[in-house]
Amino acid sequence: MKKPPEHVAEEIEKLVRDLNEHCYRYHVLDAPVIPDEEYDRLFRRLKELEENFDYVLPDSPTQRVGAAPLDKFSKVRHAEPMLSLDNAFSDNEMREFERRLKRQLGSDDEIVYTVEPKYDGIAIELSYRNGMLGTASTRGDGYEGEDVTLNIRTIKAVPLKIEGENVPESIDIRGEIFMGIQEFEDLNIEREKQGEGPFANPRNAAAGSVRQLDSSITARRRLHLACYGLGAVSGIKFGSQWEFIEWLSRCRFPVPFGIRRVTGIEQVIESIRWIGEKRDSFSFEADGAVVKVNEFRLQQVLGVKTREPRWAIAYKFPARRSTTKVLDIHLSVGRLGTITPVASLEPVRIGGVTVSSSSLHNWDEIERLNIGIGDLVEVERAGDVIPHVTAVRRKGTGKKILPPEKCPVCGSHVEKDEGGVAYRCIGLNCPAQVRERIKHYASRAAMDITGLGEKNVELLHERGLVRHFEDIYKLKKEDLLDLPGFAEKSAWNLIDAIDRSRSTTMARFLYSLGIVHVGEYAARILARNFSDIKELYHVTPERVMEIKQMGEKTAESIANFFGDTENLQTLERLSELGVRIQNPDFDIEGRENLPLDGMTIVLTGRLPRPRKEVEELIERKGGHAASSVSGNTSYLVFGEDPGSKLEKARSLGVRTISYEELMHMLEADNRLF
């Protein structure tokens, strides 16, 4: 890596320091000092400098976005075993734990302990060498785990560099990667939107996120870290668990919430009760408490038994579950069109809450459970929040619930996602999802109707003024003046924005429709290949798949949408209300003038034109401008001082061309085959 001019290197180094500071305050302290917009501005500036000068520091926050997918995980041997813990389930078992410790120590002196919540996530080991994160590995069998470094680097709470004094030569830090309850619920909503099966609980979600072969997927999920254990270490000494926790905190590692240092087993029991009483208010799932002898000297004396340390124990809270009867199974249509089977249950008290219904998630889950109406089932509150049917205890005589053929709310066609995991209503005017569809339709990248944001869409829908897509174009100024928040000027501004949206491009319009798997890029590709929206009416999947960039799943989704009679009638009504669609992508570029059709292009080094401008040109010519080199890269385009990307491209056998060759390729329509 060639160092850039001194003033550039200094700016990059300052940006890295500042951004890491803000990241720590936001993701660990939960106390940000700058707005998100300012963080994003600084991040963009850093990324621009790094790309232009190919100078990337190892602890740069830009290195958290993910890397090229792996074929498989390699193995990592733990320098010291990651042991499991023995369990206790009552106060008396905890008292017996202390009596056992005192017998083994041969002393009746009071023992000092640490007590912390038991996070329900996935255990991880972070190995630092000379202060820099080297590898991150799962617990595995305790002796050998999987190398998940690329994924763990994307988690913003994980320090890439140890900050502070007394940085050891090497240290292995153990902790728990976990997902907050709210993030878990949001992730399941998003997975159901994409037609993927939901995770059963936050622990499964965290484990599934950490064990992704594609680290960019991990980067999109908000995962957290709590550090609590010490493995092999060189260059620093700690006398106790509490001293180690204090060092972690000073070095900006997140430590367990509410961890306490107490004396004697009765104070331990009191601390466990506090965790049990407070855990419903925690943002994460805690299924117990972990108790450790504080002094490392005593830990060494006590030693381990087979795979468990004698000096630590996990107190497990009683499972919050019960059995009840399935009274009925009905279908619910979510705000994004996903149809979910929901079990109506005979009301039962679980953990102080009356549970009368539980999502069955999808038909794969129904088949796995082999569940039907009348069955006696076991129900638990996953994360102590979400009711979840875990098993059928006794079969009833009721009927099975088959997947739907029509939407139970509007009767529109139902689309079955690839693999049969989720079923989704594709009706544009389905009452269950019309609000979300209209919000998307009006968004900036779609029809760009300023003033028709979330708050106003909710208001107009509640007042009955916008129940369907075409109602947007029937609004009058007088309709708005009686609504809260609207005056003469704001009403005129919204009507004017709606009128401006009547003239749009085909790419924007296609994106605005919210067709599953059709984002902005896919919408532009469709616009380049179909001159008019009506060419898509009743289009076949095979016709869509003639386009190089379109896969089978996307083609099926497009064909289903434009094969639905109600959707086509809605599009015709929009046309009658004055929506006019132009298609400059097809008319100007044409299907024969896309020399980069289907290609992935990466830029590196200093270019004669601004990088953003070159990326936009690549997109207009049919290509995809990517930020990192992988085996899927078609060409690496290099300018002055190209740096490490050029070396990586050559090692992967990726063809490299100069900026001038790219321009010649575009001007001459020479694909360089």
Same domain assignment for residues 217 and 263 = yes
The answer to the question of residue 265 being in a domain is: yes
Clarify whether residues 161 and 289 are in a common domain: yes
Cα-only R_g, the chain: 29
Write out pLDDT tens, residues 131-189: 999 999 999 888 888 999 999 999 989 999 998 878 999 999 999 999 998 888 888 87
Residue with tokens 């300023």: 450
Q: What is each CA distance from 501 to 364, 445, 524, 573, 587, in whole angstroms?
A: 42, 12, 18, 15, 21
Q: What is the pLDDT of residues 239-248, one digit of tens each?
A: 999 999 999 9
Tell me, what's the pLDDT at 672? 41
179 in the same domain as 31: no
Of 74-78, 130-134, 380-384, the poorest mean pLDDT is in 380-384
Q: Say if residue 95's pLDDT is above 90.
A: yes
In terms of domains, do 468 and 532 share one? Answer: yes
Q: How many angstroms separate the Cα of 13 from the Cα of each of 46, 129, 166?
A: 9, 21, 22
Higher pLDDT, 627 or 568: 568
| Residue 277 covered by a domain | yes
Count: domains in the chain: 5
Say yes or no: 282 and 381 in one domain: no
Average pLDDT over residues 434-463: 88
Residue 444 or residue 263, greater confidence: 263
* Least confident span in 46-60, 133-147, 209-223, 656-670: 656-670
pLDDT of residue 380: 81
Show the domain range for 449.
434-588
Final residue of a domain: which of 522, 557, 588?
588
What mean pLDDT is reported for the chain? Answer: 86
Give the list of residues 6+ apart from residue 297 with CB closer than 8 angstroms, or none.
239
**Range in 11-25, 61-75, 563-577 the model is least confident about:** 61-75
Identify the CATH number of the domain in which residue 637 sits: 3.40.50.10190
Q: What is the mean pLDDT of residues 580-598?
A: 70
Position 590 scores a pLDDT of 47
Tokens of 80: 């010291």
Tell me whether residue 408 is in a domain.
Answer: no
Shared domain check, 170 and 34:
no
Helix (H) or strand (E) holding 581: strand 580-582
Q: Is residue 447 part of a domain?
A: yes
Summarised one tens digit per residue, pLDDT across range 538-551 is: 999 999 988 877 87
Domain end among 316, 342, 369: 316
The active-site residue, picked from 118, 439, 645, 648, is 118
User: Taking 80 as the threshold, does the pLDDT of residue 76 lie above it?
Assistant: yes
Predicted local confidence at residue 420, as pLDDT: 56
pTM for the model: 0.53
- Pick the range with the lowest mean pLDDT from 89-98, 134-143, 296-305, 588-597: 588-597
Query: Residue 443: is its pLDDT beyond 70?
Result: yes
Q: For 408-418, what is the mean pLDDT?
A: 81
Indicate if the pLDDT at residue 589 is higher than 50: no
- Bridge-based pairing state of the strands 376-382 and 321-333: antiparallel
Give the Cβ contact number of residue 42 at 10 Å.
Answer: 16
Residue 411 lies in a domain: no
Where do we find the tokens 């990466």?
A: 602
Residues 6+ apart with CB under 8 A from 329: 341, 342, 343, 344, 360, 371, 372, 373, 401
Lowest mean pLDDT across 141-145, 375-379, 415-419 = 415-419
Task: Flag whether 423 is in a domain.
Answer: no
> Are 300 and 378 part of one and the same domain?
no
Residue 2 annotated as catalytic: no
Domain CATH number, residue 169: 3.30.470.30
Measure the CA dihedral 203/206/210/215, to 10°.
Answer: 160
Shared domain for 576 and 617, answered yes or no, is no
Average confidence (pLDDT) over 364-391: 80
Residue 256: predicted pLDDT: 96
pLDDT of residue 67: 54
Percent with pLDDT over 70 in the chain: 91
Same domain? 568 vs 610: no
Domain match, 292 and 327 both: no
pLDDT at 428: 83
Which CATH number covers residue 43?
1.10.287.610
pLDDT of residue 671: 43
One domain, residues 209 and 246:
yes
**pLDDT at residue 423 greater than cutoff 80:** yes
Domain end marker among 286, 316, 346: 316
Question: Under a CB-based contact definition with an 8 Å cutoff, are residues 510 and 518 in contact?
Answer: yes
Which residues 6+ apart lie within 8 Å of 203 measured at CB? Answer: 120, 121, 122, 178, 285
CATH number, domain with residue 572: 1.10.150.20
Contact 373, 359 (CB under 8 A): no
Residue 196 has pLDDT above 70, yes or no: no
What span, in angstroms and rounded, lies between the C-alpha atoms of 147 and 215? 12
Centre a 10 Å sphere on the Cβ of residue 102 and count the other Cβ atoms it contains.
Answer: 14
199 pLDDT band, cuts 50/70/90, is confident
- What pLDDT is attached to residue 169? 94
- Quick: pLDDT tens for 546-575: 887 787 888 988 998 999 898 999 999 999
